[in-house]
Amino acid sequence: MPPEDKDSEMEQFAEGLESDRLIDIYVGDRSIPYKVSERLLVCISYYFLRAIKNEHLGNEKSGTLRFPDDDVEAWNALLFFKYWSYLPTCVDPQELRGNEEHRRKLIKYWALGDKYDVKEFQDTVMLQLLRELAHQRTNLEAVKLAFENTAPGSKLRRLYAEEVVYMVEEGKAWNHDHFDTFDGVPGFTSAYMHATNRYKLAEDADEFFHRTGKDGSWRDYMVGDRKDEGEKEEE
């Protein structure tokens, strides 16, 4: 429990920095570890606090954590975000037309945040995705990636299931023959059916897909307590 006295809380934090140590973090097939402050790491997520406690680090100056199944680029983005409080990839969506590779990166970022319960990171990534999808819709591979890297009921699955509905019902670019891409993808059919039902019950299709701006539904895709869209809010 943090102390009630805020001055005491700051003093304890400052004193803790005097004995802070670096944790070596190995991600994916990266042979060189990230060296991350233990205090920063435990501030990112309670998951890492538990991981450090269970690692039995002993009295060594620097402990080691390994995440062989994680995406290196997603970790780069997560650590950058925690140090600087913004995403380096948040640029004007209109400059990214046709850049599906960039959007696939954002999907991986959101999935990493979901894995370790870093809600502020997830919401920042999601807002960028919403802005980009407002300018250019998705493709089949991105939908598949989103479902393969997320859990049932996740906000990202909801978003991409709705994107499929748009491509079928509004864009008329896809039909059910395209769904062969999703064979064996867990949860796709259920999420798509739920999204289709919500779409058919909506009074206005344009409003259903209007997610950005002050009157958009962007809050429905947040996992944290985000209050606004930030500096890049669309008018």
pLDDT at 229: 78
Residues 79 and 117 in one domain: yes
List of E strands, the chain: 22-27, 34-37, 64-67
In a domain, 156, yes or no: yes
**DSSP bridge pairs for 64:** 24
| Whether the Cβ atoms of residue 146 and residue 160 lie closer than 8 Å to each other | yes
9 band by pLDDT with thresholds 50, 70 and 90: confident
Residues 137 and 40 in one domain: no
This prediction has a pTM of: 0.86
| Whether the Cβ atoms of residue 22 and residue 38 lie closer than 8 Å to each other | yes
DSSP state for residue 69 in the 8-state scheme: T
Q: What is the pLDDT of residues 90-103, one digit of tens each?
A: 555 555 556 778 88
Residues 132 and 187 in one domain: yes
**DSSP bridge pairs for 26:** 66
Residues 60 and 77 in one domain: no
Q: What is the pLDDT of residues 106-137, one digit of tens each?
A: 999 999 999 999 999 999 999 999 998 988 88
Residues 95 and 192 in one domain: yes
Which candidate, 11, 32, 34, 9, places its Cα nearest to that of 23?
Answer: 34
pLDDT at 231: 47
Residues contacting residue 167 through CB under 8 Å, at least 6 positions apart: 137, 138, 173, 174
Q: What is the pLDDT of residues 198-232, one digit of tens each?
A: 999 999 999 999 999 999 999 999 999 988 876 44
How far is 156 from 153, CA to CA, in rounded Å?
8
3-state SS class at 148: helix
Please count the structural domains in the chain.
Answer: 2
pLDDT at 1: 46
Per the structure, the complete domain to which residue 144 belongs is given by: 72-221
Q: What is the pLDDT of residues 124-181, one digit of tens each?
A: 999 999 998 988 889 999 999 999 999 999 999 999 999 999 999 998 899 989 999 9
